[in-house]
Amino acid sequence: MSRTVLAVVDDMFFKAKIRAVAEAVGTQISFPRTKEALLEKAREADLVIVDLQNQKIDPLGLPSELGAVRLLGFFSHVEVELQRRAVAAGYEQVMPRSVFARDLAEILK
């Protein structure tokens, strides 16, 4: 049974990388374009990945809106305060973008 992952990512290059790795490990990946689509699809997701610097949504407000969904956030390594705030908001995992990219296959398995 494959996993279902949602990724809230705007960067087209990074989306392509995530999509390619998901396909390689057999994980179903979806990139909701709106907050409403994310909230609707999140109920069936095994994991929601969020770019914490996403400008289209309020990444720090998502944990309270999504409830018991497993959340992983990634951020630019220089945004240490953003990391602290994401953990306080309820993200299960928060990691620098470079670590996320390095461990992407393992995260998506």
CA–CA–CA angle 11, 91, 68 (5° rounding): 110
Dump pLDDT digits (tens) for 36-79.
999 999 989 999 999 999 888 899 999 999 988 999 999 988 78
To the question of pTM greater than 0.75 for the whole model, the response is: yes
Tokens matching residue 96: 């620098």
Predicted local distance difference test score (pLDDT) of residue 31: 96
Residue 3 — very low, low, confident or very high, per pLDDT cuts 50/70/90?
Answer: confident
